Amino acid sequence: MPLLQVENLQVTFTVDKKPVPVVRDLSYTLPAGKVLAVVGESGSGKTIHALSLLGLLPPGASVRRGDAVFQRKHLLALNENQLRTVRGQQIAMIFQDPAASLNPVLTVGEQLVETLRAHRSLSKKEAWKEAITLLEKVGIAQAEKRVHEYPFQFSGGMCQRVMIAMALALSPDILIADEPTTALDVTIQAQIIRLIKELQQHSQMSVIFITHNLALASQVADTVLVLYGGLCMESAPADELFLRPLHPYTQGLLESLASVQTRPERLPAIAGQPPVAGEILLGCPFAPRCAYATDKCRQELPPLTKNGAHEVRCWREVVK
């Protein structure tokens, strides 16, 4: 049984009293000890999908359909109390902007200790010791001294290490890392990615790695899922996806890789803009940017077709 199984997840925002879908019919499985990369341009629904699993959707957003089964628990049906147990302890999440997630008026040690003691029966002394061990584990030098420092005394990369330490404090089964390195420069980015991968392998936790950067995904993922306009366009084991991308969008992303690394916000190989939520609901959302689009593509949403572990949503693959 997979550790997490998401089925037909549909999340909508209510805009002008009308539901606008931002995650559409999303299904995937996350096995224990594996890394799933969810890749997509800004606005494709990556964050909203993750927040929905933890019951953290912003006002106006709601889960309309679907199921997410984690260790026999149906996440989307849990109440706030039950969700609190899941969050942090079983599924931890780290975000793009680590500085914003830390409390500026508490030392990093105080924050770690607070988290540890809220969930584990540790004495103050034990919790401080554990806080130092956690900082060491995420590669912070002089942890005994730095545990008494405030977030502003840490660089962006170091703040993200602290956030990872916080996330790991309760040994979660799943770490959701939402663009964890986007705010960091390229060298630091690589270090953080390596750290997450090392910790993941060492503790055998599962990771949902959310990124707009297919190159980063390729460094960590066992499986890659490509989101576009809230829909899964393609998903496959990482090697397979990079070797044999089937969807024109994935092919475009791969062609852009070299330039994506230097200009992460641009996808020069794919002309045009990603869809605005709710704009394209009829046909394939990628059709306006697709070199192969036909009338059928513009009118009818292609189904997700499976060939073993490789799934793709494209009429060209259905016809074959």
Ligand X SMILES: Nc1ncnc2c1ncn2[C@@H]1O[C@H](COP(=O)(O)OP(=O)(O)O)[C@@H](O)[C@H]1O
Positions touching Mg ion (CB under 5 A) are 46-47
292-315 b/e (C-beta count within 10 Å ≥ 16 → b): ebeeebeeebbebeeeeebbbbbb
The footprint of ligand X on residues 172-201 (CB under 6 A) is none
Interaction partner, residue 165 (Mg ion, ligand X, none; CB < 5-8 Å by kind): none
Please list the residues that pair with 213 across neighbouring strands: none
Order across the sheet with 4-15: list the strands: 18-30, 4-15, 61-70, 73-74
Q: Of these, 45, 139, 248, 252, which contacts ligand X (CB under 6 A)?
A: 45
34 binds ligand X (CB under 6 A): no
Q: Of these, 3, 4, 22, 312, which contacts ligand X (CB under 6 A)?
A: 22
Q: Of these, 24, 26, 34, 46, which contacts ligand X (CB under 6 A)?
A: 46
- The two structure tokens encoding residue 250: 């994935």
137 binds ligand X (CB under 6 A): no
DSSP state for residue 283 in the 8-state scheme: S
Interaction partner, residue 289 (Mg ion, ligand X, none; CB < 5-8 Å by kind): none
Quick one: which of 165, 149, 144, 48 has its CA closest to 101?
Answer: 165
CB atoms within 10 A of CB 291: 9
48 binds ligand X (CB under 6 A): yes
Q: How far apart are CA 42 and CA 57, in angstroms?
A: 17
268 binds ligand X (CB under 6 A): no
| 131 versus 253: smaller Cβ distance to Mg ion | 253
39 binds ligand X (CB under 6 A): no
Contacts of 293 (CB under 8 A, 6+ apart): 284, 286, 287
Helix/strand number for the chain, H first, E second: 13, 12
Q: Which stretch binds ligand X (CB under 6 A): 46-54, 86-94, 137-145, 152-160?
A: 46-54
Least distance CB 139 / ligand X (angstroms): 27
Contact of 184 with 143, CB cutoff 8 Å: no
Size of the site for ligand X (CB under 6 A): 14
End-to-end CA distance of the chain: give it in Å, rounded.
32
273 binds ligand X (CB under 6 A): no
Q: Of these, 277, 287, 297, 304, which contacts ligand X (CB under 6 A)?
A: 277
Q: Which helix (H) or strand (E) holds 304?
A: none
| 28 versus 315: smaller Cβ distance to ligand X | 28
Q: Of these, 10, 12, 44, 90, which contacts ligand X (CB under 6 A)?
A: 44
Contacts of 145 (CB under 8 A, 6+ apart): none
Interaction partner, residue 180 (Mg ion, ligand X, none; CB < 5-8 Å by kind): none
13 binds ligand X (CB under 6 A): yes
| 37 versus 140: smaller Cβ distance to ligand X | 37
| 88 versus 229: smaller Cβ distance to ligand X | 229
Would you list the DSSP string of 86-101?
HBTTTEEEE-S-HHHH
The footprint of ligand X on residues 51-90 (CB under 6 A) is 58, 60
Residues of this chain that interact with ligand X (CB under 6 A) are 13, 15, 22, 40, 42-48, 58, 60, 277
